[in-house]
Amino acid sequence: MDFSRDFDLVFITVTTVVAVRAYEVARLFRERGAKVVLGGIHPSTLPDEAIKHADAIVVGEGELTVPRLLEDFKKGQLKPRYDMPHMVEQWDAKPPRWDLLPQGYMFRDALTATRGCNYRCTFCSIHLALGGGRYGFRKKPPADVVKLVEKMTGPMVMFWDDDLLSDPAYTRELCEAMKPLKKKWMSQMSATYIAHHPELLKTLKESGCSAMFMGLESINQDSLRSVDKQNSAKLYEEMIRRIHDHGIDIHAGFICGLDHETVYDFERTAEWATRMGLAGALWRIMTPYPGTRQFAELKAAGRILTENWTSYTGEHVVYKPAKMTVEQLYWGHKWAKGQFYSFRSIGSRAIQRASQNGFGELLNITGCGLGYRSMFRLAADSAPVNVYRDMKHLPPQEEPVAYRFPYPQKSKFGFITDRVDKFRSKLQPRPSIN
């Protein structure tokens, strides 16, 4: 980022994991005389923290608030805090400036057709932070969505909706409207609905849906129940088969370390995900984001280990797990992820899907697997296995800090990524925060 340029007004979106860095960036711009406005999920959750680092903050969705803020700014009367008057019913009236994103940016052609979802998982902050509990489900008329999609130039459209299946009648209409565009698209969708209404799959496929991202979270029903996730682990296998029968890929989200999980769940889940032929999966350590019910409960129980937001990545343990040690969770998660992205698992999933859906899937699943593998920089085949198998392997954790271990071993080609990182950090020296 170029800190040598002068700006009148700087807008920064802040999620929890980047909060510390965002505050640092805000400071650097303010030192150069700019007014800095912070918005997004983190300032909406913790306004009192965020305001210490900015000239103004925006709480909640921005569409209705920003015009007011700009008027005040022009008059030299910027207020410290702007709250949204009510939930936004219309967004992207003007097409977003996708062209400002650099070439090669992942999912450049991205939009949302709907906002909100019908569920209230305890680990999710959206409905509380962005809507103050009033985060209702809203949808854009399909014709308006089509107008936006027509402006996109890439081959794949990404719908970043919280759950594109919250109103199935709407999803059907949207699919019909998308069909003539002949674009491939993917979105986040809830497993619950598809499990009970598989007939929608044909419509989704015909409209160009090539993949779904689903937060399966766990294959342990007690764990799902403990976070108010409405999914049924029992239905997962049947549902996944049906989705694959229609030639649609599944990218799943798994949360490691939910309160009912033990060290044995890592292996069970990694084996299951391989057997199911998933195209990809995000493996995250449970992270209680501020503003969630989960955070409040763990905090009350004295189980939060750190409130250094930089550790809230999903790759670190920031709370005391219930049925394993911090180390077991940390390494068990790495191990499960490593297993799923091992060449063996990628190969097995690719062959399995090719036998179901044809040769194209061999290339598709292998490509996805290798892509994720390099993204996560996995030394997949060499992560330590015994750490979770032998529960007595490590002493119980007592030190109240987040764990940040380096990977134990690097792959043979690790030196290349190290050099690239070193070179990059030379180009962009990061000023320290104090």
Q: Name the binder of 201 from ligand B12, ligand SF4, none, CB < 5-8 A by kind.
A: none
DSSP letter at 197 equals: -
Q: For residues 210 and 182, what is the distance between their CA atoms, to the nearest angstrom?
A: 12
Q: For residues 36 and 69, what is the distance between their CA atoms, to the nearest angstrom?
A: 12
- Residue 216 beta carbon to ligand SF4: minimum distance, rounded to whole angstroms: 11
Candidate residues 49, 63, 72, 173; the one interacting with ligand B12 per rule CB under 6 A: 63
**Three-state DSSP class for residue 183:** coil
Q: What are phi and psi of 137, to 5 degrees?
A: -85, 130
- Residue 256 beta carbon to ligand B12: minimum distance, rounded to whole angstroms: 11
User: Which residue in this structure is represented by tokens 């939930």?
Assistant: 87
Candidate residues 26, 42, 223, 350; the one interacting with ligand B12 per rule CB under 6 A: 42
Candidate residues 25, 50, 62, 304; the one interacting with ligand B12 per rule CB under 6 A: 62
The CA angle 261-263-266, to the nearest 5 degrees, is 85
Task: Using the minimum distance from each CB to ligand SF4, give the nearer residue, 11 or 91.
Answer: 91
Alpha helix (H) residue ranges in 250-342: 264-275, 293-300, 326-340
Task: Using the minimum distance from each CB to ligand SF4, give the nearer residue, 55 or 162.
Answer: 162
* CA-wise closest residue to 139 among 124, 106, 161, 109: 161
Q: For residues 423 and 151, what is the distance between their CA atoms, to the nearest angstrom?
A: 37
**Three-state DSSP class for residue 71:** helix
Q: For residues 164 and 142, what is the distance between their CA atoms, to the nearest angstrom?
A: 12
Task: Using the minimum distance from each CB to ligand SF4, give the nearer residue, 98 or 137.
Answer: 137
Candidate residues 119, 137, 160, 376; the one interacting with ligand B12 per rule CB under 6 A: 160
Our finding on whether 214 is near ligand SF4 (CB under 6 A) is no
Q: For residues 397 and 56, what is the distance between their CA atoms, to the nearest angstrom?
A: 41
Q: Name the binder of 117 from ligand SF4, ligand B12, none, CB < 5-8 A by kind.
A: ligand SF4
- Residue 89 beta carbon to ligand B12: minimum distance, rounded to whole angstroms: 12
Our finding on whether 289 is near ligand B12 (CB under 6 A) is yes
Our finding on whether 41 is near ligand B12 (CB under 6 A) is yes
Task: Using the minimum distance from each CB to ligand B12, give the nearer residue, 286 or 365.
Answer: 286
Q: Which of residues 114-153 bind ligand SF4 (CB under 6 A)?
A: 117, 119-121, 124, 126
DSSP letter at 380 equals: G
Candidate residues 55, 163, 265, 361; the one interacting with ligand SF4 per rule CB under 6 A: 163
**Contacts of the segment 410-414: beta carbons below 8 A, 24+ positions apart:** 410/379, 411/377, 411/378, 411/379, 411/380, 411/382, 414/377, 414/379
Number of residues located near ligand B12, criterion CB under 6 A: 30
Q: For residues 108 and 105, what is the distance between their CA atoms, to the nearest angstrom?
A: 6
Tell me, what amino acid is at 111?
Answer: L
User: In what side-by-side order are the strands of the sheet with 35-39?
Assistant: 9-13, 35-39, 56-59, 81-83
Q: For residues 133 and 126, what is the distance between their CA atoms, to the nearest angstrom?
A: 9
* CA-wise closest residue to 18 among 312, 382, 214, 247: 312
Candidate residues 131, 257, 280, 314; the one interacting with ligand B12 per rule CB under 6 A: 314
Our finding on whether 162 is near ligand SF4 (CB under 6 A) is yes
- Residue 387 beta carbon to ligand B12: minimum distance, rounded to whole angstroms: 21
Per-residue binder mask for ligand B12 (CB under 6 A), 117-156, x = binder: -------xxx---x--------------------------
- Residue 422 beta carbon to ligand SF4: minimum distance, rounded to whole angstroms: 37
Our finding on whether 313 is near ligand B12 (CB under 6 A) is yes
Task: Using the minimum distance from each CB to ligand SF4, give the nearer residue, 124 or 200.
Answer: 124
Which positions touch ligand SF4 (CB under 6 A)?
117, 119-121, 124, 126, 162-163, 190, 215
Which positions touch ligand B12 (CB under 6 A)?
11-13, 15-18, 37-42, 58, 61-63, 66, 88, 112, 124-126, 130, 160, 162, 284, 289, 313-314
